[in-house]
Amino acid sequence: MTKYIRIQEFLILFVILFNIGKIKVDTFKVCETADCRNFNALAWNPVYIDNISSTPTQGGITVKGLSLVSSPPGSSQICFNKYCVDESDTNTAGTEIHFNIGQNITSLISGQNIPVFFYVRGISTESLYPAIFIQKNFSFQAPTISSVVFNRDANQITMTGTNFGVNGISLAMISNGVNLQPTDLVDNTVIISNVNPQNYSFSGDFQYNLNVGSPNPNSATYTQQLYPVVTSVTSTSSTGGTISIYGYRLNLFKPSVTISQVSILVGGYTCTVLTLNDQTNSFIECSLPAIPSGSQKYNLSVVVNINGKHSNSDILFSVDLSNIQEVSQDNGNTIIIGSSFGNDTTSIILHFNGSTPMSPISISDSMITFKFPTNTPSGIYNGNTLTKFNTSPTFPFKITIQPYITSITSPPTQGGIVTISGQYMTSNIQGNENITVNVYDPKSNLITQCSNATRLNSTSVTCIAPEVEHLLICNFN
C-alpha cells in the first residue's frame, strides 16, 4: 500500500528546527491517502546538541542537548582530530553526555575554539544525518590567578589559581615585560617559576600575564603588590641623629632608574631621607629630629613609604638605647659597663643565658651591677642581652662567671686538709667534673697544687694544702 508523507509540513518544521535550534520534533505524519485525512504518528528522535561546556584544563567535557542516548548504550564518542574518547555516562533523559578526557589528550590540545565532533548511535555529527548540531568548537575554561608569592630564599615565585593545564600544555608567563620560564606545574592549580631576585627588590605593582595553550590560548592577568619591608633599625640620641633602616625593597630608585618617592615616619616624626643609593635596596639612612622632652621615646613605629607602598612590620624604634662596652666580675657580682642605662632598676632587664630575666641590684647611666644566684655554675655564657623599657634587645654579649671564694678553713702548720666554700662552685660543662685548687705563695711567687680536691656539696670543696703562706685559687672544669 502506498503511504504519503506531508512533505511540505515536514520541511517547514525541519527548517524551523535547524535555524532556531530550540524546537524539538517528536513525530511526523504518515498518511494512507494523498489528502492525509487519516494518518499514523511515527517517532522521530534526531540528535540535537545544544551546548558543549567549557572544560577545565585537566579534562572533562559535558555535551548537552536532546536525544543523546546512544545505541548500543555507552557507544558515543568525542573526537579531537585523530584522538577519540568514549563516553563515561549519559543521563536517562538523554540530555547530557559526559566525557572524561585524560592527560594524554589534554596535554596535546588546549586553548579556545578547538574543533570537535561526536559519534552518537554510530553516526558522526559531521554527516548532518540523522544528527543536527549547533557548534563544532569548544574551549577550555580560562585560567584564574588568586595569588603570587615571591620566595626570597629560593628566588622563585609560586602562582596559585585554577585551570593552569597539565604537563605538556604550552604555558607562557610574563612579569612586567619579562618572560618567565615555569619550572613546575602542580595539579593544574600551582605554577612555580625561577625569577631574577633583582627584579623583586623594588616596591610597587607587578603585572603578570599567563597564557595557557596554543595557538589560541586562554589568558589571565594578575597584579601583585610588593611592599617595602623593615627588618631592623639602629638607635640614636633623643637629641636627634642619623638612623639606619635595614630590610628589603627599600629602593630609592625605580627599576627605570628614575627617583622613587620615599618618605619615612618614626613615631610620627618625619625622618629626612639621606641621599644614599644601596644597589641591593636593603638599606636606607635618614635624619631624625630631636624628640621633645617628656615625649614617648621608646617602641616607636617605623613606616617607610616608597612610591605609594608602605611597610607594615612590627619593628619598633627607641632612642637612647643601652650600649654594652665591657663585662667583668667583682666580689661575686657581674659588672656591665656601657652607656644609656638610665637610673631605674625596674626599667632594664638582663636576659641571662638566652632566657632567664634578671633585674640589676644597682644601676647608673654607665654601669649596671647584677648578682647571680650562688648556685649558678661557673663558666662562659653567650647570647645574653639587655632590654630597656621592653624595647628591642641589645646585641648578644658574653658573660664569664668565675668561682668566688667566701671562706677557707685554716690548714695545719705543716699543711693538711682545708675546706673551701663560696659561690659559683660548680661548672656549666656537662660530663665528669675536674676540680683544680691552686695555692699561691706570695713569698716565693710560686703556684703549687692543693692535692686530692674533692667536692663536699654544691658550695664547698676540700683538698690537702702544702705548707706555705698562701692564697687559694680555684678552677672548675
Interval 451-472: pLDDT, tens: 898 889 989 999 988 876 655 5
The top-level CATH class assigned to 144-226 is mainly beta
**Do 166 and 106 contact (CB within 8 A), yes or no?**
yes
Q: Report how far residue 143's alpha carbon sits from residue 209's, in angstroms, rounded to the nearest whole number.
A: 11
Q: Is the model's pLDDT at 121 over the cut of 70?
A: no
Is the pLDDT higher at 439 or at 138? 439
- 323-401: CATH topology is Immunoglobulin-like (2.60.40)
Instruction: Count CB-CB contacts under 10 A for residue 191.
Output: 25
Nearest residue to 284 via CA among 252, 259, 257:
252
**Do 240 and 266 contact (CB within 8 A), yes or no?**
no
Mean of the pLDDT values across residues 34-45?
58
216 φ, ψ (degrees, to nearest 5): -110, 80
What per-residue confidence (pLDDT) applies to 289? 96
**Do 401 and 329 contact (CB within 8 A), yes or no?**
yes
Mean of the pLDDT values across residues 57-74?
79
Nearest residue to 305 via CA among 257, 249, 255:
249
469 φ, ψ (degrees, to nearest 5): -85, 120
Asked: is 229-317 a CATH 2.40.110.20 domain? The reply is no
Mean of the pLDDT values across residues 319-333?
92
Going from the C-alpha of 113 to that of each of 63, 87, 100, 136, 271, the distances in angstroms are 15, 21, 19, 9, 58
Q: Report how far residue 436's alpha carbon sits from residue 440's, in angstroms, rounded to the nearest whole number.
A: 13
Mean of the pLDDT values across residues 400-413?
86
**404's grid cell:** 668566688
Is the pLDDT higher at 19 or at 249? 249
The top-level CATH class assigned to 404-476 is mainly beta
Nearest residue to 303 via CA among 368, 233, 358:
233
Is 8 strand, coil or helix?
helix
The amino acid sitting at 397 is: F
Q: What is the 3-state secondary structure (H, E, C) of 122-169?
A: CEEHHHCCCCEECCCEECECCCEEEEEEEECCCCEEEEEEECCCCCCC
pLDDT single digits (tens) 341-364: 988 888 899 999 867 799 999 999
- pTM, rounded to two decimals: 0.62
pLDDT single digits (tens) 129-153: 444 444 567 777 888 999 999 998 9
State how far Cα 343 lies from the chain centre: 43
C-alpha dihedral sign at 11, 13, 15, 17: negative
Q: Is the model's pLDDT at 193 over the cut of 50?
A: yes
Sorted by where each begins, the domain ranges of the chain are 4-43, 48-138, 144-226, 229-317, 323-401, 404-476
Q: How far apart are the first and last CA of the chain?
A: 123
Is there a shared CATH topology between the 48-138 domain and the 404-476 domain?
Answer: yes
The top-level CATH class assigned to 48-138 is mainly beta
Query: Half-sphere exposure of residue 405, counting CA atoms within 13 Å on the CB side?
Result: 16
Q: Is the model's pLDDT at 94 over the cut of 60?
A: yes
Looking at residue 329, the DSSP 8-state letter turns out to be: E
pLDDT grade for 57, boundaries at 50, 70 and 90: confident
